[in-house]
């Protein structure tokens, strides 16, 4: 009979109890259960048993994997269960993940074990066998009140990543960070953190939160944008033409666009990259915005935005494809809606989609940008874009002129080859059938030869 992870957790707890120990669900699985949210990952903390005894129990139950022997952390192969012993931590003053010395202490007691957690909502413990909840720091009250509150001043301040974790939880649950926690976060040095840790929290917020704007609103409230996100911070107070942007300044527009993008991210080919594009799409307005004859304009903000996005992304990641995607999206984000409003030719739409690294995601970004400015219904605009994109895909699926076709036609590879293939691609975008395109490309090559001769 197949045992569920919950069944295995109970079996572990029963074996631990037989030897005088006690097993507790801890962290997110307890929090989410109280909130009525699904959480398939189970975290168990076993008190009152030495590390060797816990490992022996797990070896009897399944294939035990030691995640960190010195940390007292184990897993069972094929199971979404983390099993750990209580730990205490002491700061070492070094940067990154190695900021702490970790001590396994099976006899530390429930309250001291819970005190090392970051927030009260994550410091809840539930006896696996009895279901009794231990709540030493008011986590259940904070869940009911919708508050993110730190557990312990000293322990919390040892890891500045908790500033971003707090913002992430605020965004994920729609909670507010307690004033005393915000005050403490304001004094913590985020520059100590590695880019990888910042990006990890950022990705979680952008992918999991219904309203990712709360992540940045709380970070802004705690003066936490200046080191990692100065280009974003610069958007506050940058005015927009109220005729087109009644929502307010560029910061407000960006936050609204981000939340609108969150509604569409499951449709995106690259959800995280797509959300980063929404975050960065108007960064250029901080330097491009000008008032001309009483009207506010941001001419060229797509290009200055790509430059600002490049600076921001270089700070966070070395992933070349991610950066290329985002910069391409930022440069092109205005064009889909603009072409529809201009009733542009098929040629203009085909050229746009050909320039785009991901036309489907570009349309989603244009939709989020439109919704982020309270601009009304989008159905007709999207219908036009989808129709044009379908035509682009149809043309791209047709047989086309390739280099091998030119060789078969007797054209030897030459410096003009690449130019001829670019010409052939333009014919493909125009919907010219391959036979005619090959004839026109051959004629084009002869023209080049005559010109150079």
Domain boundary pick from 82, 110, 136: 136
Cα atoms found within 13 Å of the Cα of residue 335, Cβ hemisphere only: 20
Same-domain status, 349 and 419: no
Same-domain status, 1 and 129: yes
Residue 218, in any domain of the structure: no
Residue 81, in any domain of the structure: yes
Same-domain status, 391 and 418: no
Same-domain status, 419 and 336: no
pLDDT for residue 360: 98
Same-domain status, 11 and 119: yes
Same-domain status, 273 and 383: yes
Domain boundary pick from 136, 168, 198: 136
Q: Is 443 helix (H, G, I), strand (E, B) or coil?
A: helix
Same-domain status, 338 and 404: no
91 touches 152 (CB < 8 A): no
pLDDT for residue 408: 86
pLDDT for residue 70: 62
CATH label of the domain that carries residue 12: 3.30.460.10
**Helices assigned H by DSSP within 44-178:** 51-61, 110-115, 139-145, 153-157, 161-173
Residue 309, in any domain of the structure: yes
Dihedral sign of CA atoms 305, 326, 320, 393 in order: negative
Note down the domain range covering 407: 399-452
2 touches 70 (CB < 8 A): no
Q: How far apart are the C-alpha atoms of 174 and 152, rounded to whole Å?
A: 23
Cα atoms found within 13 Å of the Cα of residue 108, Cβ hemisphere only: 18
165 contacts: CB under 8 Å, gap ≥ 6: 118, 119, 201
Q: Is 88 helix (H, G, I), strand (E, B) or coil?
A: strand
How many domains, in total, are found in the chain?
3
Same-domain status, 360 and 414: no
Residue 214, in any domain of the structure: no
298 touches 284 (CB < 8 A): yes
pLDDT for residue 42: 92
Q: How far apart are the C-alpha atoms of 68 and 59, rounded to whole Å?
A: 16
* Residues forming beta bridges with residue 9, ordered by sequence position: none
Residue 90, in any domain of the structure: yes
Same-domain status, 440 and 334: no
Q: How far apart are the C-alpha atoms of 153 and 301, rounded to whole Å?
A: 43
| Token pair for 154 | 């000293």
pLDDT for residue 91: 55
Residue 46, in any domain of the structure: yes
The neighbour count for residue 176, using CB atoms within 10 Å, is 18
Domain boundary pick from 120, 136, 152: 136
Residue 313, in any domain of the structure: yes
Same-domain status, 35 and 115: yes
Same-domain status, 358 and 410: no
397 contacts: CB under 8 Å, gap ≥ 6: none
pLDDT for residue 192: 93
Same-domain status, 35 and 112: yes
* Phi-psi group of 318: left, alpha or beta (phi > 0 → left; psi -120 to 50 → alpha; rest → beta): alpha
- Of the candidates 180, 110, 109, 178, the one whose C-alpha atom is nearest the C-alpha of residue 148 is 178
Mean pLDDT for back-to-back runs of 10 residues, the chain (453 residues): 80 96 96 90 94 93 80 87 84 51 86 95 97 97 98 92 97 96 97 96 96 97 96 94 86 97 98 98 94 87 96 97 98 97 96 98 97 87 97 93 85 79 91 89 80 57
Q: Cα–chain-centroid distance for residue 217?
A: 16
Residue 255, in any domain of the structure: no
């Amino acid at each position: 009979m197949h045992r569920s992870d919950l069944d295995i957790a109970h079996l572990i707890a029963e074996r631990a109890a037989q030897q005088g120990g006690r097993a507790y669900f801890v962290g997110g699985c307890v929090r989410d259960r109280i909130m009525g949210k699904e959480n398939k990952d189970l975290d168990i903390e076993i008190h009152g048993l030495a590390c060797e005894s816990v490992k022996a129990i797990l070896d009897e139950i399944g294939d035990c994997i030691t995640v960190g022997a010195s940390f007292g952390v184990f897993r069972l192969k094929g199971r979404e269960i983390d099993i750990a012993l209580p730990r205490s931590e002491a700061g070492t003053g070094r940067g990154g993940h190695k900021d702490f010395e970790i001590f396994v202490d099976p006899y530390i007691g429930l309250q001291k074990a819970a005190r090392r957690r970051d927030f009260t909502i994550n410091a809840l413990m539930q006896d696996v066998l009895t279901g009794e909840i231990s709540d030493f720091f008011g986590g259940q009250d904070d869940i009911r009140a919708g508050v993110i509150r730190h557990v312990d001043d000293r322990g919390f301040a040892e890891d500045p990543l908790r500033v971003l974790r707090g913002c992430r939880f605020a965004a994920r649950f729609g909670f507010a960070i307690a004033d005393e926690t915000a005050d403490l976060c304001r004094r913590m040095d985020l520059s100590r953190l590695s880019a990888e840790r910042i990006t990890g929290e950022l990705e979680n917020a952008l992918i999991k939160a219904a309203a990712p704007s709360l992540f940045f609103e709380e970070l802004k409230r705690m003066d936490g944008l200046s080191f990692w996100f100065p280009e974003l911070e610069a958007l506050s107070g940058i005015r927009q033409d109220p005729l087109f942007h009644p929502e307010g300044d560029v910061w407000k527009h960006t936050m609204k666009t981000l939340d609108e993008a969150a509604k569409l991210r499951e449709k995106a080919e690259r959800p995280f990259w797509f959300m980063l594009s929404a975050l960065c799409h108007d960064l250029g307005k901080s330097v491009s915005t000008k008032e001309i004859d009483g009207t506010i304009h941001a001419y060229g903000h797509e290009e200055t935005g790509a430059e600002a996005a490049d600076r921001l992304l270089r700070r966070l990641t070395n992933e070349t494809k991610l950066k290329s995607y985002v910069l391409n999206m930022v440069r092109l984000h205005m064009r889909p809606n603009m072409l529809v409003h201009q009733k542009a030719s098929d040629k203009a739409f085909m050229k746009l989609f050909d320039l785009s690294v991901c036309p489907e995601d570009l349309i989603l970004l244009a939709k989020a940008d439109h919704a982020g400015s309270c601009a009304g219904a989008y159905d007709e605009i999207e219908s036009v874009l989808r129709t044009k994109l379908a035509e682009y895909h149809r043309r791209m699926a047709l047989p086309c002129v390739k280099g091998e076709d030119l060789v078969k036609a007797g054209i030897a590879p030459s410096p003009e080859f690449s130019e001829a293939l670019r010409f052939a691609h333009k014919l493909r975008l125009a919907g010219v059938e391959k036979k005619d395109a090959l004839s026109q490309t051959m004629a084009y090559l002869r023209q080049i030869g005559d010109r150079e001769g």
